Structure 1
C-alpha cells in the first residue's frame, strides 16, 4: 500500500493522526520527570557491620575476611571492595550487570546470614542494602531562631522539619548536620565506684533493668481481659538521681552517691558553619526515581509554609544541586530550539521557497513530539542523555522531508500540478526515504544495547534517537506529500540554479575524470585522519562548570573535633579571599544520631571536614577549574592537612589501585608510585590510603592474674567501653518524655577519661568479686593502620589524583610509563578503577556499537537495493566523516570523550 498516495487522497485522517500523536506526545512530555542523568539500578550490594571502638586491624581479621569469604563464591560476582575503619566494616559486592539486582541482594543477605554466628557476638547485625546512586544530598539549608537555643533548634530539625519534609513526595531522607543531641549524662566517679566495689557495667546494667517499661501479661477482671504493663520509669532527672538499686555484690546504692546526673547535651561530634558562623544545618536527598527539579520545588514550598507557621525562623540555603539540573535542562531545550531554527534556515537557503521550507520544517516538531510517547512508555526521563539524543538528530529529522519536497519541486518544474507532482514524486522517492531512515536506525539502535555501565546510560540515548528518526519517516511518507499537494504552488517561472552550483558541478566533473587521484586523495585523507588520533587528548566526561565546588579536609588520625574546627576555619579564611567566592558552608563529624555516614556534608569522622563553596554565576567568573586551581595553591599553606578540591565527579579525578598480599612490599610500592605520580606535570593533589597510622591505647591482660581472680578479657573490654564511651545505643535506658525519648548515658566524667591512672582504678567484675583493672591488666601506647582497603580479598592502596584540567587519557598514558609502575615488585599488581576503567569500557563499547551499526546499515541497504555491491559505494562517506571529526577536535582543542563518541555515532 502506498501510504503517501492514501494521505494525499485522504488528508483529514492524516491530519487527525498527527493531531493525536502530537497531543499524546505533549502529555507524555509533561508526565516525564526532569533529571540530570537516568536513574540506574546496578547489581551492587553493600554490607555494613559495626563494632564501636574496634581497631581496623582487628575488624579486618575478625569481620571483613569472613564476610568476603562468604560472598566470594556467589554466582556473577565481579569485584569485592572492602573498607575497614575505626569501628566499622563496609564490604561492597559488585556483580555483573546481567544479574538482577534483587537476586544479588538476596544472595548476599543469605551468604552473610550463614557466617553471622562466626562473627564476634558484639558485632551488630550486618546491614545488607543495594547501592543507591541517588543517595547524595541535593540541597542543604541552615536554620536559626531567636526563640530556641541550640538544643531546641536541633530537636526542631529532627522532629518538625524532618516530619514536614519527609511528607514531601520524592524526598528520601533529611539528615541534620551540626547542632547537639539531648541526653541524660550519668557521670561516674571512679573513686566512689572503687570504694563501693562497683563497676561501670554494673551501674549501667542495673539502671537498664530498673528504668524500664514492658509488657506484664494479662488478667481476667470483671469478665473482661485486661492487659498488664510494668511501668518502672521516672519522669525527671531528679527522680533518676534519687533512684536506688542493688549492686551485684549485694550492696544498695543511690545513683547520685556514685555519679553526677544531669540533663544536658551529648558530647559534640559534629559542627556546621556558614561563612564561619555556627549553625544547625540539614541536608535533603531524593528517593530513587524522583526528579531533582520537582523535589527541589516541593521542598522550597514546604519550607515556605513552615516559615509561615514559625515566623522567627531564618532559613538560608547552604548549597543547591537542583539549580544546575534545571540550568542543564533549560540549556538543552534552548540548544534543541536553536538547532531546529538553524535547520530551517539551511533548508530555506537551498530550497529558496517559503512554502517548501514550511512543508519541510513541519517535520521537526512532528518528529520530536511523538518520540516522547515511546520514551514515556519505556519509563525514560527528560535528562541530559535523552535531550542530547534529540539535539543530535534534530538536523537528521528533516532529511526525509527534504528529499520528498525537493523531488516534488523537481516535478513541479516539469509543469505538473502540486497534486500530481506530490503523487508521482512521493512514489518515486519512497525507497530512498525508507532506506535513509532504516540506515539511521541501524546506526543508533546498537548504542541502546552497549554493555557495561556506559551501556546503561546509552539505552535511553539509542532508543530516543530511534523513536525520533522513525517518527520522521512517518511524517515524510504520510504528512509531507499531503501538505505539499495542498500548500505548494505550480512553478510559474524559470528555475535558476544557485550561484554555487556551477562550481560544484565543475568539481564533480573533475573528480569523475580523475578517479584514481580522487580515490588516492580520499585514502590519504583517511590515513591522515587516523594519524591525528594520538594528537587528540582523550577523557571520559569533560568537567562541568557549575557554580559550586567542594573542598575535603582530612587531618591525621587521632585529631580532635576542635582541631578539625581550627583547620576548617583556616581553610575557609583562605578560600574566602579568592575572587568569585560567594559563601562557604562547612560541615564535619557525623551529624545527628542515625544520620547517613555517606551523606555529602555529614562525614562520619571528626577528623574530616567538607567545605561547600558557592561561586559567582557563569559569565561573571572564569571557569570553575581556574578557581579550583587557586584554591589548591592557597590551601597548600595548611600544615598537616590533606585536602582534595572538586566535587569528585566524572572527568575530575584519576583513580589507581595497587594490590598485594605482602603488606611490606605493598607499602614500599605505594610509596614509590606516589613519589612518581607527583612528578607528572599539571596534576592537582594526590592522596592515597597508605601511610595513615592511628595511635591507640592497648590494654594487655595478665592472663595468669586474671585467671586467678576470675576476670575475663571480655569483662575488661566491656568495662572500659562503658566507662569511656557508654553502652551501645540499643542497650541504653531511656528517659520517657511526652513526645520523645532521651537516652541515659552512663560513663566516667570527662576528667577521669583523660587520666590513665584513674582508668586503672576501675573495678572489673570477677568470680571472687570486683577487681581493680590495674591488678589484672596493663596500659601501653600502640599503633596500627587508620584505614584498611581491600580489593578482591587482598589488601590494596588507593590513589586519587586531581586531574586539574589535564586530560584523563594523557594521565593514564603517563602513569603506565612510570618507573615504579613498570617495575612493580613481585606479588603487587596495578588495578585501574574509576573513570579510567569506565573509559576503557566506553571505547570498547562504542567501537563494537559502531561496527555493528555499519554492518546493520549494509544489511538494510542490501535488502532495500537488492544488490550486494551498490551499498558499498555509499560507505566511503561514512569512513571519511571520521577525518572531519578528528580534525575539528584537534583545531578546537577538545577531548575525544563520551560526548565526542556520541557525535561520531
Structure 2
C-alpha cells in the first residue's frame, strides 16, 4: 500500500504523528543552544618556550630552530610557523583537517623530549597548547568611578565573586587596577661597600619569612604538632632583617636598601569614556548557552549597579547581543518570507482551503527540523537558521505539486478520498526525486575537509532535514488534510486551466518555439558561450570576495609612538585620540588601554538600527580624523568579518617575502609597502618586521662565566632581577597576599656604568662584576623574527575599503611583480583572505561539479534513462547565467556564501524540469510526442510558477539584507533568486524544445539501428 493511501485511510494516526512532531520540535527549540556560528575545531597546536632575557636572534638560534627541525617530521603537518621575540619562542603547527589532535599532541611531547637536553640553560620546559576559537570571552565589562586601587579592591571583593556565582560562567578575570606591593630598592654602592649581592638579600628575606612543622610532642595522652611561626606579620618585620657578610658581620637591610610599602608602578592604564577604569572578561563554560549566560550577566550587572551607585559599570563587548540581534533578524526574514509565500499561493489558487492546507507545511516542517537538529547536536546560529530561511520557500514546493494534482483530480470529478490518493501517488516519485536532487548537492560540501566544511555542514544538514520533513508532510499530511477540508471549483479542470490568459500566451510561445526549435537551442548555446567568455575576459564584471562583510558595530584603533616613550606620553596620545573622535554621533562607548608607546582604543557604536552610516564608513571617518598625528602611527580597523578576517583572524591582503637576511627582508618589506599604498582601496598597510628601539645588549662570555661557576641562566636571572625586579617572597596581611619585589634603585640601573658594576655572588665566595662576565654595549635589534616552514619571512599586510578583494589582490600582485626587485634567494607568496578565497573557491567549484554528477545520477535512477536527465541538466547553465546576472545587477560580490547558494541552486533548478518531463512521459503513452508536450507543459505551468515564486519571494527579505547579520545570507539568496527566476522562464521553453529534439533524434537513431539489424537478418536468411 502506498504511503499516501495509508495517510488518507488512517487520518487519526497521521494527525497524532504530526502532533508528536510538533510537540517534540517545540520542546527542542527551547533547548537548542544559541551561538553566532557552529562550534569550530581548528587543527592548531602551539609550542611555547620562555628564555628570559634572550634577544629574538638568540631565541631563534637556540630554541626556535631546534624545535622546528624536530617537529617538522610529525604526521599530518600542513604548515609550520614561528615567532621569536625577546625571551619567548612560539611555534605554531597547523595540521590537516581530520587529524587527531590528542595523538598529535602526544607525538609532539615525545619529539620535544628528545631535544630538551639540547636547549640552553635557563630556558623553560616547552609547553604544548591547543588553540580553541570557542574559548574567547563572551562579554567584556568596564568599571569606572574611582581610583585604580579602589576599583580593583571593589572588583575583587564584590563584583568578581558575584559574577562567578552565575550558572554557566567559568571565570570573571580582572585586568587593570593597582595592587599593593613591597619594594626593596637596593643601593648598589652600599652593596659594593659590604661586598654583598642581591641574591644574598633575597636569601635573607626568604629565610626570615618561613613557617614549618618541627615534629610532635606528647601532652598528657595527646600528641600535638609543633610548628614554627616565622612568617612576616606586617611591613615593619622587614626592617628587622639583617644580612650576614662574608666576614660574619650583620648588616641591617635598611642600610642596604630603601623599603617601600606602596602600590604597583603604573605600566598600563584603562579608560571608559575618558575615566580611568578596570576591565572584567567573562568566560563561559564550554557547554553553556552563550545567550543565556550573557542575559544572566546583564541582570547581575544591573543589580550591582544599583548596589554600587558610585560606580559606572558598562558592558563594553557582548557577543550574545550580536548573536541575539542576528538570529532575530534571520527569524524576522524567515517569517516575512513565509508570509509572502502564502500570499503567492492564495493569488494563484484563489481558494482559502487550498492555501491553508499548503501553508501548514511550513510550521510543521520547521518544527520537525528543530527536532532533528536537537538530536543531531546542532545549535541555532546564523548558519543553521540561514539554512532554514533559505529553504522556507522550498518547504511548500512538494506540497504545492501534490495539492495542485489532487485539486486537478477533484476538478475532473474524482471523489475526495480517491482524488487525494491518486493525486499524491501520481507525483510521489517526481517530488521524491526532486527532493533528493536538492539534498544530493550538499553531499560534496560535507566531505570538504577544512574550516569551510565546519561552517557549512550544519547548514547542509539543516536544509536536508527541512526538505525531508517537507517531503514527509507532502506525502502524508497534505493528502489526509485535502481529503477532509479541500473545496474545489468544478471549473478548474485541465481544459479550463488552458483557457486562462497567461496559459494561452504560454501555449503560443511554446508552439512557436517548437517550430523553430533548432534556432532556439542554437541561440541559447551561443548566448551561454558568449556570456561565459565575457566573464572570463572581464567584459562582464563579476566582483569577488572571501566572506560577506558584516556590521558588528565595533572599531579598533591601534596607535604606536616612535622611539622610546613613557606611559605619560602615551596617555597624552590617548587624550588626543579621544578629542578627535568623541564628537562622532554614532559612538556609544569608548574604551582604551594605554601602555608605554602604545594605545589600543575600542569604539563601540550604537545599534545598526539607530545609525545611518555603516561601520566601515565610520571607520574611514575616524581614519581621516586621526591621521597625521606627530610622532605616532595610527591604524583603524572596522570589525566586519564573522570570522575575524582571513578565516582565522588574518587580514584581507597579505604578501610574504622569504629570505635569509633580516636587513634585506626589512628593506624589501618597506619597499613593497610603499608600492601598494597607492593602490585604490588599500588601507592600514603594515610591515611585520621592525627594528626595535635603542637598547643595551649584554653578550655573555660563556667561558668566563663558567670559570666563575655561572650559567647563562644565572646571569640572565640576576640582571633581570636587578633591572626589572623579581618577586622573592610574600607578606600576608588581612588576608591579602602582597608581593615583595627586590631590585636595584632606578637611578642606579639606567647607565652602562651602573649596569657594568652589578655584582654576582660566585660559588667561590667572590663577588664578580657583570663587566667581567659579559660585553655590554648599546645597539638596536629586531623586535621579533617570523618564520614559515623553517624560512625567515616578512609580512606586508593591508585592509581594503570600498573595493572588491579580488580586484585589489590582482592589482597588488601586478604592482609587486613589476616593480619589486627580489634578489636571488628571496621569494614572494600571498596569503590572507585572498589565499583563503582562492582555496575555498577551488574546493567549492569541485564540490559543484560533483553535485552536478550526483544530481544526474539521482535523475537517471528515477527515469531509468540516461537521456532524460541530460535534457533536464540544460537548466543548470541557465541558472548559472541567472545567478551571475543577479550578482551583477545588485552589485554583490561572488563569495563563499554565494558559491554555496550556487551549489544549492543546482539541486533546486532541476525540480521543475523533473516534474515537467515526468508528466510529458506519462502523457506520451497515450499520444504523440509533440501532442504530449503541448498537453503537459501548459498543465504544469501553474505549479511551476507557484513553486518558483514561493521560493524566490520567500528569499526576498534575505536578499534585501535588512537587519543585523543579514549580510551572511544575502549572497546566497541573491544567487538562488537570480538563478531560479532566469532558469524557470527559459526552462518553460528550452526543456520542451530540447526534449522534442532529443526524443526525435533518439527515435531516428533507434530506427536506423533497427534497419541495420533487419537488413543483416535478411541477408543471413
Shift of 1:744: 0.6
Q: Which residue of 2 aligns with 1:599?
A: none
Q: Which residue of 2 aligns with 1:600?
A: none
Unaligned runs of 5+ in 2: 904-1021
Q: Answer with 520-529 or 293-302: which moved more.
A: 520-529
Matches within 5 A, 1:849-860: 849-860=847-858
Distance 1:558 1:46, change over 3 A: farther
Distance 1:723 1:505, change over 3 A: same
Q: Which has the higher Rg, Structure 1 or Structure 2?
A: 2
- Measured against aligned partners, the alpha-carbon deviations of 1:98-154 in whole angstroms (never above 9, x if no partner) come to 1022223333333333333332332333332210113433322222456xx532421
Q: Is the 8 A contact 1:83 1:90 kept in 2?
A: yes
Residue number among 749, 755, 766 corresponding to 1:753 in the alignment: 749
Counterparts of 1:247 and 1:525, CA distance in 2:
98
Q: Which residue of 1 aligns with 2:832?
A: 834
Q: What secondary structure is seen at the aligned counterpart in 1 of 2:133? A: coil
Counterparts of 2:321 and 2:790, CA distance in 1:
41
Mapped pair 1:138 → 2:133: no
Q: Is the 8 A contact 2:752 2:777 kept in 1?
A: no
Counterparts of 1:439 and 1:748, CA distance in 2:
76
Q: Answer with 653-662 or 839-848: which moved more.
A: 653-662
Counterparts of 1:494 and 1:403, CA distance in 2:
15
Q: Which residue of 2 aligns with 1:504?
A: 506
- Measured against aligned partners, the alpha-carbon deviations of 1:833-866 in whole angstroms (never above 9, x if no partner) come to 3322221221122112211211111111111211
Shift of 1:277: 2.0
Q: Which residue of 2 aligns with 1:150?
A: 148
Q: Is the 8 A contact 1:200 1:747 kept in 2?
A: yes
Distance 1:582 1:153, change over 3 A: closer
Q: Answer with 405-414 or 258-267: which moved more.
A: 258-267
Counterparts of 1:786 and 1:105, CA distance in 2:
29
- Measured against aligned partners, the alpha-carbon deviations of 1:14-48 in whole angstroms (never above 9, x if no partner) come to 01111111111122221111111111111211122
Matches within 5 A, 1:564-603: 564-589=570-595
Mapped pair 1:613 → 2:603: yes
Q: What secondary structure is seen at the aligned counterpart in 1 of 2:457? A: helix
Residue number among 628, 633, 649 corresponding to 1:637 in the alignment: 628
Q: Which residue of 1 aligns with 2:804?
A: 807
Q: Is the 8 A contact 2:194 2:245 kept in 1?
A: no
Shift of 1:713: 5.8
Distance 1:40 1:714, change over 3 A: closer
- Measured against aligned partners, the alpha-carbon deviations of 1:260-300 in whole angstroms (never above 9, x if no partner) come to 22221222222101222211222223344443322211211
Distance 1:572 1:528, change over 3 A: farther
Q: Which residue of 2 aligns with 1:816?
A: 813
Distance 1:514 1:184, change over 3 A: same
Q: What secondary structure is seen at the aligned counterpart in 2 of 1:164? A: helix
- Measured against aligned partners, the alpha-carbon deviations of 1:667-702 in whole angstroms (never above 9, x if no partner) come to 343233222211311211200112333322123567
- Measured against aligned partners, the alpha-carbon deviations of 1:558-589 in whole angstroms (never above 9, x if no partner) come to 44333332222222222224442333210135
Counterparts of 2:74 and 2:216, CA distance in 1:
48
Q: Is the 8 A contact 1:417 1:490 kept in 2?
A: no
Q: Answer with 760-769 or 606-615: which moved more.
A: 760-769
Q: What secondary structure is seen at the aligned counterpart in 2 of 1:825? A: coil
Counterparts of 2:828 and 2:555, CA distance in 1:
30
Q: Which residue of 1 aligns with 2:109?
A: 109
User: Aligned-pair RMSD on alpha carbons?
Assistant: 2.5
Q: Which residue of 2 aligns with 1:532?
A: 535
Distance 1:711 1:549, change over 3 A: closer
Mapped pair 1:794 → 2:791: yes
Q: Is the 8 A contact 2:76 2:96 kept in 1?
A: yes
Shift of 1:12: 0.7
Counterparts of 1:332 and 1:189, CA distance in 2:
67
Shift of 1:388: 1.2
Residue number among 171, 180, 183 corresponding to 2:178 in the alignment: 180
Mapped pair 1:334 → 2:344: no
Distance 1:709 1:625, change over 3 A: closer
Counterparts of 1:266 and 1:827, CA distance in 2:
49
Q: What secondary structure is seen at the aligned counterpart in 2 of 1:632? A: helix
Q: Is the 8 A contact 1:188 1:259 kept in 2?
A: yes
Residue number among 746, 761, 767 corresponding to 1:770 in the alignment: 767
- Measured against aligned partners, the alpha-carbon deviations of 1:492-549 in whole angstroms (never above 9, x if no partner) come to 4466544322222222222211111221232233224422364111011122223221
Q: Which residue of 2 aligns with 1:601?
A: none
Q: Which residue of 1 aligns with 2:343?
A: 345
Q: Which residue of 2 aligns with 1:199?
A: 197
Shift of 1:381: 0.9
Q: Is the 8 A contact 2:688 2:796 kept in 1?
A: yes
Q: Answer with 845-854 or 91-100: which moved more.
A: 845-854
Q: Is the 8 A contact 1:672 1:820 kept in 2?
A: no
Distance 1:224 1:883, change over 3 A: farther
Q: What secondary structure is seen at the aligned counterpart in 2 of 1:516? A: helix
Residue number among 632, 637, 646 corresponding to 1:646 in the alignment: 637
Mapped pair 1:42 → 2:39: no
Mapped pair 1:276 → 2:290: no
Q: Is the 8 A contact 2:176 2:269 kept in 1?
A: yes
Counterparts of 1:521 and 1:170, CA distance in 2:
63
Distance 1:773 1:526, change over 3 A: same
Shift of 1:2: 0.6
Matches within 5 A, 1:377-388: 377-388=375-386
Mapped pair 1:698 → 2:704: no
Q: Which residue of 2 aligns with 1:595?
A: none
Q: Is the 8 A contact 1:355 1:487 kept in 2?
A: yes
Distance 1:771 1:842, change over 3 A: closer
Mapped pair 1:322 → 2:325: no
Counterparts of 1:216 and 1:520, CA distance in 2:
102
Q: Which residue of 2 aligns with 1:626?
A: 617
Q: Is the 8 A contact 2:670 2:687 kept in 1?
A: no
Q: Is the 8 A contact 1:418 1:490 kept in 2?
A: no
Normalising by structure 2, we get a TM-score of 0.82
Counterparts of 1:352 and 1:521, CA distance in 2:
38
Shift of 1:222: 6.0
Matches within 5 A, 1:510-521: 510-521=512-523
Q: What secondary structure is seen at the aligned counterpart in 1 of 2:413? A: coil
Q: Which residue of 2 aligns with 1:594?
A: none
Counterparts of 2:791 and 2:170, CA distance in 1:
35
- Measured against aligned partners, the alpha-carbon deviations of 1:601-623 in whole angstroms (never above 9, x if no partner) come to xxxxx433321112233242212
Q: Is the 8 A contact 1:452 1:841 kept in 2?
A: no
Distance 1:108 1:307, change over 3 A: farther
Counterparts of 1:109 and 1:711, CA distance in 2:
30
Q: Is the 8 A contact 2:79 2:788 kept in 1?
A: yes
Distance 1:781 1:236, change over 3 A: same
Counterparts of 2:290 and 2:552, CA distance in 1:
16
Matches within 5 A, 1:253-272: 253-272=251-270
- Measured against aligned partners, the alpha-carbon deviations of 1:171-221 in whole angstroms (never above 9, x if no partner) come to 344333321122111111222212211111221233223323445566677
Distance 1:583 1:40, change over 3 A: same
Counterparts of 1:170 and 1:846, CA distance in 2:
38
Shift of 1:476: 0.7
Q: Which has the higher helix share?
A: 2
Q: Which residue of 2 aligns with 1:865?
A: 863
Distance 1:339 1:525, change over 3 A: farther
Q: Is the 8 A contact 2:694 2:778 kept in 1?
A: yes
Q: Answer with 799-808 or 158-167: which moved more.
A: 158-167
Counterparts of 1:707 and 1:368, CA distance in 2:
75
Q: What secondary structure is seen at the aligned counterpart in 2 of 1:279? A: strand
Q: Which residue of 2 aligns with 1:369?
A: 367
Q: Is the 8 A contact 2:399 2:474 kept in 1?
A: yes
